[in-house]
Structures are given as structure tokens and as C-alpha cells.
Structure 1
């Protein structure tokens, strides 16, 4: 039986900061949104203080002054690079990796016997921490939905010590399903929980035992697939969910190897515009843009270079112009002459619901007039491209010299992507 694992980085943004600042280990640490507005990531220690996600920074400044918590500005360049390093480790020790978000990746466990499976999952758990410094939890199961539940168990139940491998036909798995509420099942939204409760389905176990045909008839084919996956029957791919994605990636191999910057820039612009269209379609906003390039790893006669860089956006946005500006900045930084590139792409990171955007008093939001103009322009572009063919309306090169400076009073160094910000060792 083919198995799949889900590797989830623990408190990822905070963990990235702790890799280069060990003094923060065991401390209550929070990472702030654009312009240091509100909390978007929390350590376990800050959660224990009862501080909720989305809390405005100004409301907890007294705790900073008392030395009880540490607040840091979001450092997407560092987080994007550390995510790529985690993926590199997983690719070295697995049959394949499918990124799901900046801190979650599905991993194939093909060809492992039952007695080897758990040990290999533990090896992944150790190797990622050893080579990157990032703590992870690993859940392994026959399906992606069960792998999600296994990962959750690995994180919530100390006895698993960060690694949980389950099979659908044993008592341990049955007990786990019976304890899991429907709201904790991947792909089951809040609205479905109430409707399922009316017909007596209140846990993951209840959904697994339900008649799949009835589930499909009364709800949807997507929920039927979820029910089958809980039984251990693989039938979901990453693109099957209609729920908003946690990240959006658009990429494509070039028609031929190229080192022409203008050609590569045009490709990145196309990917950025396509990603922005997908972002608007699911009614989300992005906080950061990651651009990557790859040379051909099978051409041993050519020099190899596969860079990536994440750039934080001025504000959470779905405006193609702002996304392309950030993508252009990233490309300028990572492009190097002397290499022939095979592939390039754009990933939109840290997505939020456009209808639930939370701004603090310190943020500088768009005026209503600017926001309305942006929405109308993007809506017209999307409508024309939908009616007359993709690419009918494209954006030109953004005006040069635009200064998009963020307020990042607590920004740490970009230790792993900039020579001038490498960690320094000092003799004592």
C-alpha cells in the first residue's frame, strides 16, 4: 500500500527566528503582520498567556515593556528561504514532496515495509531538525486526510513524540477517529459541521462509517471523497478542494534554456498575473510573494543555480500591480548572469480571507477611493480576460523607483539570504 506523510513545521515563523536567536527558546514570542500591526504567529509560550491570534500589537506593548513577551516583525525573506531548506531535506530522504503551504508539505512514503515505515518517519523528523533547526511533526497514513489527522495527533499527543503513523484497520486509528471532531477534519467547513450533526454525524468516525452514496447525494462529491479517505481509500489530490488555498503557485518550464533576463522577467510577470487572478477568484489577499528560478539539474555540463526569494507586500493585497512590483524586486535580487535557466515561478504566501482582513490602528490601509479603483480595475481585467481569452489585457512594466517602505521596527536580520546579514560569531 502506498503511504503519504504530512510534515508540518511547528510554529514556523517563530521557529525560523529561534534558529538564529537561541535566546528566544522557551520565551513567549509573537510575529507581527505588515507594518507591525497584529499577531500572525505565536509560540506555545505566548499562547499559554492567553494572547489570541490577530491581537493588535499596541494592546500587548505593556507585556513587551515588562519583558514577558517578544514581538518581531514578519521576515518573509527568511521564512521563504527556510521553507525551501526544509523541502530540500525532505526531497533528499523521500520519493517526492508536494508543498501544501509555506510550512506544510506532503511526502511520499513509497516502498517501505511496515517495520521500516515508522523508523523512516522518525528519521525525517530528526533530519529536518538537524539540518535546518526547524522542529516538525510527521503524520503518515494511506490517504492525505488521514495523514492530516495523524499529523494533528503527533502534535497534540505527547506520547507520539512528534511522529504518528496510522492505518485505517487498527484500534488505535479507530479510537483517534472517534475522538476527532468534524471541525478538525481536513476539508470539512464550519457550515457542513452543523448540517452533518442534524443527521447524527458528529465525529470523524461517524463520517467514515456513513454511506458514501448518501453523503454524495445529500452534500457533495468532495465530502464523499473525504469520507472514503477516512476509511483509508485514496481519492483526493491537492487540487480537489474548493476551499481557499493556503498558498498559490504558478510556474512552468521555459520552452528552452535561457539566460535572457528580459525573457525570464516576462515569464515571471505572466506567472504573477495568473497567480493574482487565482487569488481574486478565491477572494483572498496575499501578504508576501515568493519568486524562484531553476536550472536543469540533469545538465551536468552546465553550472547549477536554483534561487528563491520572498518579498513582503506593503499591505495584504490582490492587486496585480502590487504583486508584480514585489515579484520584480525579488527577480532582480536572485537573477545571476552565467546560468541558463529552465524554469521559473511565483508563489503567493500567507493568504487571508479578503472579507476578514484585520487591520490595527498602526496599519496604513488604502482609502476607500483607492480600494474601489483597484477593485474596479482588477474586475474589468478579469472580466475581459475571461470573455476574450487569457492574456488579452496585461499590465505593463511598473513605474521605476516606487518606494514601498514598510514599518518593521522589530525586523530581524535575513540571516540566510544576505551576505551582509550573516550571523556573526564573537569571541568572549
Structure 2
């Protein structure tokens, strides 16, 4: 059996944990630079606030309906997510972290367990230890556990927030209840094609012949169909090393001078290098992207990217940053107001096992220097040690005018009990 544990309105719930005054109130969370709505509480959804709404266009609507608008607080959300996932590992060793607010659990050897009670126990522990409400769906396959989770989320009073599909009757009833567009892995375009075929529900999808699905779609949809039929086909995925690492950000303002852009690129490159070191990788290639504000059609537009190959694989912030800064200087165009930039590192290889160059190699001192920098930053936080080409005050500059405190990741923001 598989379980899908999903945190309800995760971003809004994180805000409510440390600010109980938000309980029961509509909440909206904004994207980077306070741009668009990326998360909503159930109360905000009921009021009609759409996902992706540009906040400058919906500012009056939010004020009129008393919607609490917050900047995205990713350090807080990431830390709360880690706490939830660690709790889930207490219930089974087989856990796949699917997203920041979702995890699949595999229950092997749980044949004599009352899984509905076990699901409720999971919910209670996560809620008690973190304050985050969850829904739990349990079924013989991953795809069916997604369906079960939707039922638990939709009918919390009837299910106590946990629902188990453990009979053929329940499976068929659940699939007939699930609309084709709500099936996990069925996108908008694919759902339209299936609806044209007469598939209105997940049950209709399972009634299609295997041959027809394989002919008209891909092996992914064929596997999904078998999973919905109750045949375990989709397994838990093991955490794999990333093949590409990227850091891209929109600037808080448009920049038309090369110095500010160099600083941003240097910071993004240093972040990529740190991520490389965390997963024990080095990169062969550095890609730099630079683009103007496409929303301002009255301004001259420019968008470009460039790829730089390193002479030998590296995860040194010094080398990657230097390569990235030189690269962005070559694609920068005077007179353009740039709004977004990014650094991507690819061609990743294990740091302790890659082909050496016959005539060139990285300065061996870089390795020890990076280890020392990472250790200091890990201990004291907030990137205490940076490159000279970086902004010494901030990691990256974003517009966050409605940011809540980082209650669990910054000692200065810890709640004081009076």
C-alpha cells in the first residue's frame, strides 16, 4: 500500500502556525518580487482570488475582502517542510519527498495494520509537532493514493482527513468521482484530448484499451492507467543527483549598468557553486542568461545567453563566478534595461571521480578554501563570507514588502514568549 501525505494550503498554514490571528482569514502568498499570487488559503479561493493574479491589479480586491497578502518566505517554508518530512520517516522508512508539501510513503509489511487509523495518527502527530494540517490518502498504488488524498481533502468531516481505498468497490467509486482533468499526470492539453474521446472521469480513462492508449499517447500514460486499475506500476523514486543546477532571479529594479548586473551574476554563480558542493558534483559548463523586461513593450528588448566550457570540472565559487561574470560582459548591451538574469551549470560529474586533464588542473587550494567558507556560512548563516564581487549586504535583492519573520531559521526572528 502507498500513502500520499499532503500539507493543506502549505504556505498559508506556515504563516498561521506563528501568527494565530490568521486562522480562518483569507491568505494570499506572492511570488518573487511580490509579483503574482502563487498560493491561496481556502478562504481566499472561495472569494474568487485566482491563482497567478498580478497583485498590482488585485490590490483593491484584496483590501475590500480583507485578504492577508504576504511575500513568499521560502526559508520558513523550507524549514517547516523538512520538519514535516522527518516526522513522516517515523512511520515508514520508505519515503519519497515529492514536493515541498507532499510525500509518498510505501507501507511494506503493514498487512495487519488498520491503515485508516494509522493515517489519522500521522495527521495528528504532524499537526501536534508542527501545527501544519495534512490530508492522507492510502491505496494500493501511487496514482490511487493521489485520488484517495483528494477525497480526504474534500470531505474532512466524513474521513477525519484520511481515506483508504482498499476494496474494488471503493476504487471504482473513487475513479467515477474523479474528473479527468484532476488525474495526477494528466495535463490540460491531454485532458482535452481524452474528453474528446469521451473520457469524462478517471474511470472512463481506465476503460480505454491498453493498445489504444499506447498508440495515441506514451508509455507514461499507459503506466498511469495500470496504476489507476490497481496494478502497482509507479514505484517510489529514489533521490537522484541533479544533472543541471540553475539560479535565476528577476531583479527588484531594472538595471542598465554592467556593474550591478555583474554583481547579480556573481551572486547567482556562487549559489550554483554551493549547490554543486552540497551534492558532491563539479560542472564542465556554465551558461549565463540575461533578458530585459518583456512586459514593457515600449522599451527596447534584448534577450541573450552564452555558454562557457571550463578547462576542467569545478565547483569552486571563484572559478565559476569569474567565468560567469566574463560571459555576461560579452552579451551585455548598452542602453537596455535588464530585468532578469540567471546562471546554469551543467555537464555535472562526481567531484571525486572524473576524467583529469593532462596539462591543466584546478588550484588544489580552492577545495580547502571552499570547505572553510561552507563551514563558516553553515555555522553562522546569512552567507557571512562572500566573494568580493558580491553585494556584502544581501544574497539576492528581491522586493519583499510583506515578508513575515523567519521564525525558525533566524535567531533574531524567534518568537518571544511573555
TM-score by length of 1: 0.67
> How do residues 81-100 of structure 1 correspond to structure 2 at under 5 angstroms?
81-100=79-98
**Residue equivalent to 1:195:** 193
**Residue equivalent to 1:299:** none
**Residue equivalent to 2:150:** 152
Task: Please say if residues 18 and 24 of structure 1, whose CA atoms lie closer than 8 Å, have aligned partners that are also in contact.
Answer: yes
Say whether 1:213 aligns with 2:205: no
> What displacement does 1:219 show?
2.0
**Residue equivalent to 2:337:** none
Output one character per residue of 1:78-122: Cα deviation in whole Å (capped at 9) or x when no partner: 000000000010011223211111111111222223552111111
Aligned mates of 2:346, 2:22 — CA distance in 1: 51
> Number of residues paired by the alignment?
330
**Residue equivalent to 1:266:** none
Say which structure, 1 or 2, has more relative contact order (CA 8 Å, 6+ apart): 1
> What displacement does 1:239 show?
6.0
The 1:383/1:94 distance shift into structure 2, 3 A limit, reads: closer
**Residue equivalent to 2:379:** none
Say whether 1:166 aligns with 2:182: no
> How do residues 14-93 of structure 1 correspond to structure 2 at under 5 angstroms?
14-63=12-61, 65=63, 68-93=66-91
**Residue equivalent to 1:400:** 389
The 1:384/1:103 distance shift into structure 2, 3 A limit, reads: closer
Aligned to 1:372, what secondary structure does the other structure show?
strand
**Residue equivalent to 2:244:** 274
> How do residues 293-312 of structure 1 correspond to structure 2 at under 5 angstroms?
none
Say whether 1:410 aligns with 2:402: yes
TM-score by length of 2: 0.68
Aligned to 2:50, what secondary structure does the other structure show?
coil
The 1:152/1:384 distance shift into structure 2, 3 A limit, reads: closer
The 1:205/1:322 distance shift into structure 2, 3 A limit, reads: farther
The 1:187/1:314 distance shift into structure 2, 3 A limit, reads: farther
Aligned mates of 1:64, 1:30 — CA distance in 2: 9
Specify which of 5, 10, 13 is matched with residue 12 of structure 1.
10
Task: Please say if residues 272 and 345 of structure 2, whose CA atoms lie closer than 8 Å, have aligned partners that are also in contact.
Answer: no
Output one character per residue of 1:216-268: Cα deviation in whole Å (capped at 9) or x when no partner: 1232211111111011111124669xxxxxxxx764xxxxxxxxxxxxxxxxx
Aligned mates of 1:359, 1:173 — CA distance in 2: 47
Task: Please say if residues 244 and 345 of structure 2, whose CA atoms lie closer than 8 Å, have aligned partners that are also in contact.
Answer: no
Task: Please say if residues 11 and 41 of structure 1, whose CA atoms lie closer than 8 Å, have aligned partners that are also in contact.
Answer: yes
The 1:172/1:67 distance shift into structure 2, 3 A limit, reads: closer
Aligned mates of 1:421, 1:78 — CA distance in 2: 11
> What displacement does 1:128 show?
0.7
Structure 1, unpaired ranges of 5+ = 241-248, 252-270, 277-284, 288-311, 332-340, 347-357
Task: Please say if residues 39 and 51 of structure 2, whose CA atoms lie closer than 8 Å, have aligned partners that are also in contact.
Answer: yes
Aligned mates of 1:112, 1:275 — CA distance in 2: 38
Say whether 1:325 aligns with 2:317: no
Structure 2, unpaired ranges of 5+ = 254-263, 282-292, 309-326, 329-342, 349-353, 371-386
**Residue equivalent to 1:297:** none
Say whether 1:373 aligns with 2:305: yes
Aligned mates of 1:114, 1:367 — CA distance in 2: 67
Output one character per residue of 1:361-405: Cα deviation in whole Å (capped at 9) or x when no partner: 9xxxx9843x42369979xx999959xx9999xx99976323532
Task: Please say if residues 146 and 229 of structure 1, whose CA atoms lie closer than 8 Å, have aligned partners that are also in contact.
Answer: yes
The 1:39/1:374 distance shift into structure 2, 3 A limit, reads: farther
> What displacement does 1:75 show?
0.5
Aligned to 2:244, what secondary structure does the other structure show?
helix
Task: Please say if residues 37 and 359 of structure 1, whose CA atoms lie closer than 8 Å, have aligned partners that are also in contact.
Answer: no
Aligned mates of 2:100, 2:130 — CA distance in 1: 15
Say whether 1:424 aligns with 2:416: yes
**Residue equivalent to 1:121:** 119
Aligned mates of 1:72, 1:81 — CA distance in 2: 18
The 1:183/1:32 distance shift into structure 2, 3 A limit, reads: same
Aligned mates of 1:196, 1:90 — CA distance in 2: 36
Task: Please say if residues 77 and 417 of structure 1, whose CA atoms lie closer than 8 Å, have aligned partners that are also in contact.
Answer: yes
Aligned mates of 2:188, 2:100 — CA distance in 1: 24
Aligned mates of 2:191, 2:409 — CA distance in 1: 44
Aligned mates of 2:209, 2:118 — CA distance in 1: 35
User: Could you say which structure has the larger radius of gyration?
Assistant: 2
